[in-house]
Structure 1
Amino acid sequence: MSRTDDDWTGPVRARLSARLERNVDHPLGLALSGGGDSIALLHVAAGWARANGRRLLALTVDHGLSPDSAAWTAFAEQAARDAGADWRGLTWRGLKPAAGLPAAARRARHALIAAAAREAGARIVLFAHTADDIAEAGLMRAGGSTLGRLRDWAPSPAWPEGRGLMLLRPMLDAGRAEVRDWLTGRGASWIDDPANEDPKYARSRARASLLPVGGGGAHRETTRDGAPRPDDGCAAVRSSPLPTGEGWFQLPRDIDAQALAAALVCVGGGDRPPRGDRLFGLLARLRSGEAFTATLCGARIEPGAAGVLLTREPGELNRRPPPPLPLSPGVEAVWDGRWAITADEPGWSVVPAGGRRTALSDADRAALKALPPAARGGWPVLIRNGGGAPVLAQTAARTRSLIEQRLALALDRMTHERDLGAVIHGATPPNPLFSSRHQ
């Protein structure tokens, strides 16, 4: 069967070409479960990679939830190697929760794939979600699920494992039925996981209640008036620069809801977005012009005359102080989800500055004084494992804030693979939130 641009594969290859680099050494990741959608994407991506000088790295997670999982993993490995891709198997180890198993498995899968992709030097991982997945997720949200919306280009949800890593979903306009018809026409086989039909899972119930989705964009989610729903709701923020200092943001009061949610998560260092009622309650207070201080997602919100100051909430670090984070020489560690820190010598650990500022040197206290007062207590300092005076992390180790680049990725300020090189490999590129092409 010849490949043409007349079926779903043409738009997929076009999306790959629009986002990805050609003829570079670092691999392109692909999440390969062995199911029909991921096998189809494997075939298309492998062809694109061969034609464009790329190595393809397929990553398969064995969740250990089925007696057949080892056989499924072996099937995925063979499929990847037959397609000319490299392959790596990953295993979800440890106890599995009795409640919330699908969500826990999804989080584990993303974390394992992100860590393996970063270790291999990949900047992008392909995922084979289709139009059917969009429809199923929409139905689940209507039933009360907090499942996020699928975007074709989005940061890895695993944090901090997925820092600097983007997911590309080039098949969101394709329907599952047409993908399987295409595979059948090629004589390809795939795995059908019986769990996908188990009615005890919300995803399976949503799938059973929906008719098969065909190709084309008509099945994308819409707003109540039938208009297409924007991908992320961040257009207003993308169109103007965000004033920022390292480790904090100054935002406008009329910031978009989705952009505010992303900024809160980034500044707070976590990975869970705010609940809708709390987010929209906060937005209403911002719009009213009220002066207040609030905390959400670990971030401190202080509206003022110059805008809305967003910093890490130091009170949370004081109430539930994290244990000191030991640093191994030459190994980047992520502290509080916000700072990447690499020490060159042994014997250092990272702690928050709150409660230790008076023990800092005069120079370090002067550096902290230059920050907004609310930001100072959440700053990282280093302590000697055997005792001694603390020092600001920036003066004793290679330290960089992660929140600016994380928000830039969330707001689509970095739209191509070539934009990601400095981010994932640890350098500090010019802040894309101030890029002149966005002003």
Structure 2
Amino acid sequence: MPDDGTQPDAPVSPLTAARSFVENLGKPTHILVAISGGSDSTGLLLALCQVQAETGRERLQLSAVTVDHALRAESAYEAERVAKLCAELSVPHMIRRWEGAKPASGISEASRLARYRLVAEVFRQTRADFVVTGHTLGDQRETVAMRAARNGGSEAVGLSGMADAVLYEGQCWVMRPFLRCERQAIRGYVLSRAQTWLDDPSNENVRYERVRVRNSLSRSPSPIDFELSLKRQVLARKTAAFLADRAQILHAALARIANEDVDPDRPEFRHGLAALIATLGGRAFFPAAGSMERVLEFLREGDAGRMTVGRVLLDRRRDALYLLREQRNLPQLLVGSQKTAVWDDRFAVKNGSPVSVLVKAGSAGDAARLVGPFATAPSSVLKQAVAGLPQIAAAQVGVPLPPDAVSIAPRLAPFDLFLPRFDLELANAIAALFGRPAYPQPPV
């Protein structure tokens, strides 16, 4: 239930949403507002400025950032118009431009990733506490409709829609105070403040999936099941507890679940298994529903056997189910001096040495160093797991590496780039299993 006393499916006014959001912060806060100049982000900035005037600048500090995607000739001028508005409101403002060649396909996703990267740069530079964006109830409807059409992911968790808070790159929380605001109400509020907004023509281009979905929803709007977000959080919490109690991970390379805990009809087992497959395989997304159904059918048979999904080998033995990276397409990676890189989407490599290093797959002959709780695991499983671990050597033969000059840390691919609040407990449970620190808590 929302903190403002309204029903979760009841739209709220922009100013009410902004006031409630700031009241829940509980301490002096510096907010970075991501503003494109469209009605939603303009309304968000104006509403926060009004709340700032009510509460005082010592309670609420605002900065703003606009990303110029450089996709249209008018974009630079539009960014300057936003800068002028921010100057009128006495809000410090920065413009960041997406430089370089743009991809011929997948431009929407590439733009989104560039936007997050550039906004995060300003977040760090300004030392803001978090970022806010102007996503609305209409955006939420569109997101749910698009995910429903794809029908992908374990337990259909995507149908819960966008989270009100998302952690970017493990450091920057991005909050969405307007997720219960209708766009028309936001535009009415902007006009009431004697302001206007910029209309991006790409929002009318039916080449983009979101525009097509928006047009269809305008003819036949579909309700949002707000209970799904609560159900997703409950599932994540139960899954976190299941994995903490029943799963073992060694060297971020080998997972073990005892056979008595392999229960394909248990939701937290299914969800936890999907999370482990994505993490061990270095995949940003959980396996698709069809892939997971094949895995569960395999497990329901109860027999010893092997199958692969999402670059992960599932090896069912008499004692347990083992999961590890399959031995295909393991890369070699050259990392320059004082550089960082990601190997196989599973490990972050930081080279603090004065020479370049070569990162490649390990040797099955090193299996003897896998001890502890996996000492009784089948030797063939241990050898394959070791062969999926990164090994470091100087790129130039005969050049010694200073001790401890190169560090390797496991990445959690499903969570390290974008982590919705829904999945925070689950992500922290997996982080603990993989020897990683917990992710930071959201500010509100």
Pick from 192, 195, 212: which aligns with 1:188? Answer: 195
Which residue of 1 is the match for residue 291 of structure 2? 278
Which residue of 1 is the match for residue 41 of structure 2? 38
What is the count of residue pairs matched by the alignment?
395
Secondary structure of 2:64 counterpart: strand
1:231–1:44 Cα change, 3 Å: farther
Work out whether residues 270 and 297 of structure 1, in 8 Å CA contact, stay in contact via their aligned partners in 2: yes
Pick from 179, 200, 225: which aligns with 2:186? Answer: 179
Equivalent residue letter for 1:382: I
Equivalent residue letter for 1:326: G
Query: Does residue 377 of structure 2 align to residue 354 of structure 1?
Result: no
Structure of greater relative contact order (alpha carbons < 8 Å, 6+ residues apart): 2
Which residue of 1 is the match for residue 162 of structure 2? 150
Work out whether residues 335 and 351 of structure 2, in 8 Å CA contact, stay in contact via their aligned partners in 1: no
Task: Give ranges in structure 2 of 5+ residues lacking alignment.
Answer: 6-11, 375-381
Which residue of 1 is the match for residue 8 of structure 2? none
Between the aligned residues of both structures, percent identity stands at 25
Task: Between 72-81 and 403-412, report the one with greater CA deviation.
Answer: 403-412
Which residue of 1 is the match for residue 335 of structure 2? 325
1:409–1:65 Cα change, 3 Å: closer
Task: Give ranges in structure 1 of 5+ residues lacking alignment.
Answer: 157-161, 359-363, 434-439
Equivalent residue letter for 1:134: Q
Task: Between 284-293 and 401-410, report the one with greater CA deviation.
Answer: 401-410
Query: Does residue 259 of structure 2 align to residue 247 of structure 1?
Result: no
Work out whether residues 135 and 179 of structure 2, in 8 Å CA contact, stay in contact via their aligned partners in 1: yes
Q: CA deviation at 1:402?
A: 3.1
Work out whether residues 410 and 436 of structure 2, in 8 Å CA contact, stay in contact via their aligned partners in 1: no
Work out whether residues 151 and 231 of structure 1, in 8 Å CA contact, stay in contact via their aligned partners in 2: no
Q: How does 1:32-431 map to 2 (within 5 A)?
A: 32-46=35-49, 47=51, 53=59, 55-118=61-124, 124-144=130-150, 149-156=161-168, 162-211=169-218, 219-221=223-225, 230-231=231-232, 233-242=235-244, 243=247, 244-248=249-253, 249-250=255-256, 253=262, 254=266, 255=268, 257-304=270-317, 308-317=321-330, 321-328=331-338, 332-355=340-363, 367=369, 372-388=382-398, 395-403=404-412, 406=415, 409=419, 412=422, 414=424, 431=438
Instruction: Find the aligned partners of 1:64 and 1:15 in 2 and give their Cα distance.
Output: 32
Note the alpha carbon deviations across 1:46-71, whole angstroms, 9 max, x for none.
54696575654433222222221111
1:181–1:166 Cα change, 3 Å: same
Work out whether residues 325 and 351 of structure 1, in 8 Å CA contact, stay in contact via their aligned partners in 2: yes
1:228–1:338 Cα change, 3 Å: closer
1:348–1:101 Cα change, 3 Å: closer
Work out whether residues 14 and 47 of structure 2, in 8 Å CA contact, stay in contact via their aligned partners in 1: no
Which residue of 2 is the match for residue 437 of structure 1? none
Task: Between 364-373 and 135-144, report the one with greater CA deviation.
Answer: 364-373
1:293–1:43 Cα change, 3 Å: farther
Work out whether residues 355 and 394 of structure 2, in 8 Å CA contact, stay in contact via their aligned partners in 1: yes
Instruction: Find the aligned partners of 1:429 and 1:59 in 2 and give their Cα distance.
Output: 32
Greater Rg, structure 1 or structure 2? Answer: 2
Note the alpha carbon deviations across 1:387-428, whole angstroms, 9 max, x for none.
24898x99443443232994795675658xxx9xxx9xxxx8
Q: CA deviation at 1:120?
A: 5.5
Instruction: Find the aligned partners of 1:87 and 1:260 in 2 and give their Cα distance.
Output: 44
Q: CA deviation at 1:193?
A: 0.8
Equivalent residue letter for 1:220: I
1:400–1:208 Cα change, 3 Å: same
Q: CA deviation at 1:174?
A: 1.2
Work out whether residues 327 and 343 of structure 1, in 8 Å CA contact, stay in contact via their aligned partners in 2: yes
1:284–1:119 Cα change, 3 Å: farther
Secondary structure of 1:230 counterpart: helix
